[in-house]
Structures are given as structure tokens and as C-alpha cells.
């Protein structure tokens, strides 16, 4: 669906066109939590309705519900999954990759192609196959993931900035030490 909006800004009329791609949300079981949780190609995780044993409180029926994504360091999204009374934090992008992306080479890492760790999206065609060019996640080696995109540039830039601050502090300290030594020598002489 394509929608256009016009707005007057000063003496100009701006026309903005929005394009909405409506996709069907596909759900698959979470590996190791079959029948308990499912993950979608759009990055949502849901708890399935079931009877939960609450020990001395008996069994409680829980309705199906979408879990709230939480953020962990550097904006990676995670959810808390429970099984047999044990809770585990699981990153959403790994759950999605395990459910939707084949990993025949047994690669260890999941890469975000756009380098946005909150953008968990896998494009699934109508026939159920994954379109890897349109998807944002891919399996990769740890080395590839570390060297991907602008990450090296950003790390180098941060280190350079930190090193410049440290060098400036060293120069200032050295100047103070030299100044204090000269001051001390002039008093002696």
C-alpha cells in the first residue's frame, strides 16, 4: 500500500510518500522449547497457552501472549524463557536464526546486516522460503561478525579518541613534573 501526504512549509509544498509492505507474520517453535514458545519472522516471541505446574498452588492455565522484548548491552533484544522451573535469557536474533535460517556449516554467530542489533527481521516468501537478500540476519563466523561493516572504524575512532585524551593527560603531567623540578632547582641554587 502506498500513501502520499502533502504539507506546506513556508512557501514550499512538500510531498512525502510512504510505502507500507504488509507481510504475513510466520510463527515457528523455539528450539528446545517446542510447544511452549514460538518466534516470528518479524522478531516477536510468544508464550503458547498451556497448563503450568505451580507446585503447591496447583496447575494454572496461561493464555497465549506476546512476550515483551528487553534490551541487553548495545540494544540486543532478549526474552526470558522458562521450562521445568528454570529461566533462561535468550537473544531474539539467535532464536530467529535457529528457527528460520538453515546453518549447514554450523556457524557460531548471527550477524545483523544493517548493524542495528534491534532490527531482527527475516523475509519469508509466500512459498515459505527465506529471501536472504531482503532479510537482516545471517549466520556467520565470529571473525566475520567482528570485522563486518563499520565496526572496525567505530572501534578505532573510539580508541583514537581515548588515546588522544590519555596522551594529553601525560603531556600535562610531564609538564607539571618538569616545571616543579625547575622550580625546586632554582630554590636550591
Distance in Å from the first CA to the final CA of the chain: 87
List the alpha helices (DSSP H) in the chain: 92-100, 142-147, 151-188
Give the predicted TM-score (pTM) of the model.
0.68
**Residues contacting 50, CB < 8 A, separation 6+:** 35, 36, 61, 62
> For residue 61, is pLDDT > 50?
yes
> For residue 66, is pLDDT > 70?
yes
> For residue 6, is pLDDT > 70?
no
The model's confidence at residue 187, banded by pLDDT at 50, 70 and 90, is low
Residues 84-116: pLDDT tens digits? 889 999 999 999 999 999 999 999 999 999 989
The mean pLDDT of the chain is 81
- Calculate mean pLDDT across residues 47-66: 89
User: How many helices and strands (H and E) does the chain possess?
Assistant: 3, 13
Amino acid at each position: 500500500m502506498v500513501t502520499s501526504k502533502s504539507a506546506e512549509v513556508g512557501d514550499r509544498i512538500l510531498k512525502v510518500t510512504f510505502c507500507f509492505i504488509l507481510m504475513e507474520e510466520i510463527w515457528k517453535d523455539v528450539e528446545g522449547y517446542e510447544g511452549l514458545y514460538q518466534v516470528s519472522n518479524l522478531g516477536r516471541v510468544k508464550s503458547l497457552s498451556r497448563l503450568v505446574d505451580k507446585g503447591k498452588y496447583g496447575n494454572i492455565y496461561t493464555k497465549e501472549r506476546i512476550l515483551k522484548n528487553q534490551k541487553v548491552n548495545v540494544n540486543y533484544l532478549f526474552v526470558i524463557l522458562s521450562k521445568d522451573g528454570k529461566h533462561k535469557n535468550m537473544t531474539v536474533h539467535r532464536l530467529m536464526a535457529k528457527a528460520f535460517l538453515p546453518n549447514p556449516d554450523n556457524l557460531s554467530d548471527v550477524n545483523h546486516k544493517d548493524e542495528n542489533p534491534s532490527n531482527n527481521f527475516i523475509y519469508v516468501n509466500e512459498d515459505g522460503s527465506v529471501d536472504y537478500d531482503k532479510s537482516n540476519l545471517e549466520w556467520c563466523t565470529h571473525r566475520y561478525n567482528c570485522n563486518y561493516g563499520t565496526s572496525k572504524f567505530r572501534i578505532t575512532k573510539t580508541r583514537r579518541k581515548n588515546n588522544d585524551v590519555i596522551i594529553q593527560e601525560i603531556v600535562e603531567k610531564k609538564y607539571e613534573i618538569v616545571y616543579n623540578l625547575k622550580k625546586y632547582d632554582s630554590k636550591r641554587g
